Amino acid sequence: MMISTRGRYALRVLIDLAEHNNGSYIPMKDVAARQNISLKYLERILPTLTKAKLIEGVHGKGGGYKLTRDPSDYTVGEVLRLTEGDLAPVSCLAPDAPPCDRVAECRTIHIWREFYTMTNNYFDGIRLTDLTGSDGSDNYVI
């Protein structure tokens, strides 16, 4: 499994908003500058986060984005499934997959199911607050 730039950057945006959460809207140009991410690229990710109600935004003077929930209420799994799609390691385990006619004879399905469960449990067990820096630094790599 390879997590795309889209998934990694979405996490970085949310972590940044959590670390600078003071109740007001944070200009995305500030987040882009702190994270060294192109504002153009962020503008492609923000609608996904907004539509899913992970963040809310206001345009104009004093505008920007902020989290819609407490940072401890966000999981990495939630963000990755939103940006990457389902985390199924094989197509037959995807939620919309048609039933596989070979599942009864499949010698590997149990390892893929277990891996899928472990992956989801792992990412769902990591909260946004687990990723925020306690040193006040804006320098981190994801």
Identify the pLDDT of residue 100: 87
What number of other Cβ atoms are within 10 A of residue 82's Cβ? 16
- Identify the H or E element spanning 114: helix 109-124
Instruction: Give the count of domains, the chain.
Output: 1
Q: Collapsing DSSP states into helix, strand and coil, what is residue 82?
A: helix
Q: Which amino acid is at 5?
A: T
Q: What is the pLDDT of residues 31-50, one digit of tens each?
A: 999 999 999 999 999 999 99
Is the whole model's pTM more than 0.85, yes or no? yes
Q: Could you list the residue range(s) of the whole structural domain that residue 25 is in? A: 5-87+127-131
Within-domain flag for 92? no
Q: Yes or no: say if 81 and 103 are a contact pair by the CB < 8 Å rule.
A: no
Residue 142 lies in a domain: no
133 falls in which pLDDT band (50, 70, 90)? confident
Do the domain assignments include residue 94?
Answer: no
Identify the CATH number of the domain in which residue 30 sits. Answer: 1.10.10.10
| 105 inside domain | no
- Average pLDDT (20-41) is 94
Whether pLDDT at 81 is above 70 = yes
Decide if 106 is inside a domain: no
What's the pLDDT tens digit per position in 106-129?
A: 999 999 999 999 999 999 999 999
Domain for residue 21, yes or no? yes
Res. 71: pLDDT tops 80: yes
Is 70 a domain residue?
Answer: yes
Q: What is the mean pLDDT of residues 87-105?
A: 91
Residue 97 lies in a domain: no
Compute the mean pLDDT over every residue in the chain, rounded to the nearest whole number.
Answer: 92
Could you tell me the pLDDT band of residue 20, with boundaries at 50, 70 and 90? very high
